[in-house]
Amino acid sequence: MTETAAYYSGNYRNVFKELGFSNEEIQDRIDDTWNKLFTDENKETQIYYPVGNDKAYMLDTGNLDVRTEGMSYGMMMAVQMDEKDVFNRLWNWTYQYMFMTEGENAGYFAWSCNPDGTKRSYGPAPDGEEYFALALFFASHRWGDGQGIFNYGKQARDLLRTCLHKGENEIGHPMWNLENKLIKFVPNVEFSDPSYHLPHFYELFSLWAYPEDQDFWKEAAAASRAYIKKSCHSKTGLAPEYAYYDGTPNNENGYGHFFSDSYRVACNIALDYEWFKDEQCPVDVAYRIQQFFADKDPEDYRRYTIDGEPFEEKALHPVGLIATNAFASLATDGPNAEKLVKLFWETPVRTGERRYYDNCLYFFSLLALSGNFKIWKANS
C-alpha cells in the first residue's frame, strides 16, 4: 500500500474532471441522477420508494421484489450523499422486514421480500451483508451513533461477528469459509461468486470489527485479491458469475459465464485500487476487461464465456455494463479508459422495467469517477 492511496491521503481521483468536464457539470449530473432514482419526479427511473413516515425500500423493478443487494446499495449511496433520512428509512425497513430471528439463518437478512415486507425467501445473500456492514460503519463515522438499530457501529460489528461465527454454538453456517477466507455464494454452499469479493471493505473491517475478528478480515482482503485474479480469464479479464474456490467456473446451473453479477468485478478492483493501492490488487484484470469491451457496440453486448465467446443472449443490463467498464478507469489509464468513461458520460440512466440493477451500478460509477465514493473514518 502507498501513501497516495485514498485511505492515507484523503485524495480521490476525479476522472471526469481529468477529461475536461467542469465541476458544475459533474455535480449537476450527480444531483440529477440522484433525483431520478430517489424521487418520484420521473417514475420511469425511480427505484426508491418511501413508506409512511420512517421507512423506504429499493425496488428491483425487473422482479418486483426488494433485495438486500438493493437495500444495502441504497444505504451506501445515501451515506455518500449525506442523506441521513434516506439511509435511516432504508435501514428501518430492512431491519423490520428482512432481519431473521429464527432458524438456521437467524442473525442474517432475508435476501428477497415483497414490497409489503413479506419474505419471499428465508435465505441470505452475503453481498447484502457486507454492504450493510460498511454502510453502517460509514454512517457511524459520518453522523454518529444513535439508539437501538441506529447505533450503526454496533449493528455493523454484530453483523460481521454473525457472518464469521454463525454455527459455532447454534445451527447455521458462516458466510465465509473460515479456512481459505473466501466469501461463499450463500452460507450453506462451498463455492463463491467473484463479484462478491470486496478486499477494500475487508481492509476496513480489519480496523473496525470486533478485535477478535480483525486478523481474519486482513487475511480475507489478501485472499480475495488473489481469488479475483485467478477467477478472471487470463486474456479477457472476464469473470464467471459463480466459481469454485480454485477459481474455475462453476457452470452446474449455467452460471459459469460472464453475465450480470460478473460486471461488478471491475468496480471492486477499481475501488480497491483507489482506496488502498495494494500491490496485489489485480489491476491488470481491469485493463483486460476494458480492452475486451473497447471495440464492442453496447447495442450488441451479450452473455459471454469467460474466454470471450458470445452467446446469442443479449446482455440483460447493458447500461450497467457500460457503467462498470467505465468504473474500471479508476485503476487504469490510456485510450480505452478514456473511451469507456466518455461512453458512460454520454449514456443516460436506464428507464423501464429492468432499470434497477443498471441504475444502481450507474450511480456508483458516477460517485467513483467523480471522486465521491469515499471512505468515512471516525471524525472524518
* 233 and 369, same domain (yes or no): yes
Q: Known catalytic residue: 69? A: yes
Catalytic-labelled residue, pool 241, 261, 272, 358: 261
Task: Note the pLDDT of residue 170.
Answer: 86
CA–CA gap between residue 17 and residue 19 (Å, rounded): 5
CA distance 35 to 114: 24
pTM: 0.98
Residue pLDDT, tens place only, 229-288: 999 999 999 999 999 999 999 999 899 999 999 999 999 999 999 999 999 999 999 999
Q: Are residues 289 and 145 in the same domain?
A: no
Q: What is the pLDDT of residues 182-206, one digit of tens each?
A: 999 999 999 999 999 999 999 999 9
Query: Do 4 and 95 sit in the same domain of this protein?
Result: no
Residues 65 and 13 in one domain: no
Q: Give the per-residue pLDDT at 243.
A: 98
For residue 296, give the C-alpha cell.
464492442
Q: How far apart are CA 111 and CA 92, in angstroms?
A: 15
The domain of 94 spans 48-175
Q: Are residues 370 and 233 in the same domain?
A: yes
Identify the DSSP state of 243.
Answer: B
Residue 200 lies in a domain: no
Whole-angstrom CA distances from 151 to 96, 229, 291 are 15, 37, 44
- One domain, residues 42 and 63: no
Q: Is residue 212 part of a domain?
A: no
Residue 22 neighbours by CB distance under 10 Å? 10
Tell me: do 10 and 88 sit in the same domain. Answer: no
Radius of gyration over alpha carbons of the chain, in Å? 19
Q: Is residue 120 part of a domain?
A: yes
Residues 282, 157 within the same domain: no
**Does residue 194 fall inside a structural domain?**
no
- 233 within a domain of the structure (yes/no): yes
What is residue 1's predicted lDDT score, i.e. its pLDDT? 67
Same domain, 378 and 243: yes
In a domain, 154, yes or no: yes
Tell me the residue length of the chain: 380
| Pair 25, 62 in one domain | no
> Is residue 193 annotated as a catalytic residue, yes or no?
no
Question: Catalytic one among 69, 129, 203, 358?
Answer: 69
What DSSP assignment string belongs to 319-335? Answer: HHHHHHHHHGGGS--SH
Report if residue 71 sits inside a domain. yes
Residues 374, 320 within the same domain: yes
Query: Domain of 307: which CATH number?
Result: 1.50.10.10
What is the mean pLDDT of each successive set of 10 residues along the chain, which is 380 residues long? 91 98 98 97 96 98 98 99 98 98 96 98 97 99 98 98 95 98 98 98 98 98 98 98 98 95 98 98 98 98 98 98 98 98 98 98 98 91
Residue that finishes a domain, picked among 114, 141, 175: 175
Q: What is the pLDDT of residue 340?
A: 98
The structural domain count of the chain equals 2
By the 8 A CB rule, do 257 and 306 touch?
Answer: yes
Residues 83 and 42 in one domain: no
Where is the domain boundary, 135, 158, 175?
A: 175
In a domain, residue 184? The reply is no
- pLDDT score, position 268: 98
> What gap in Å lies between CA 169 and CA 107, rounded to an integer?
13
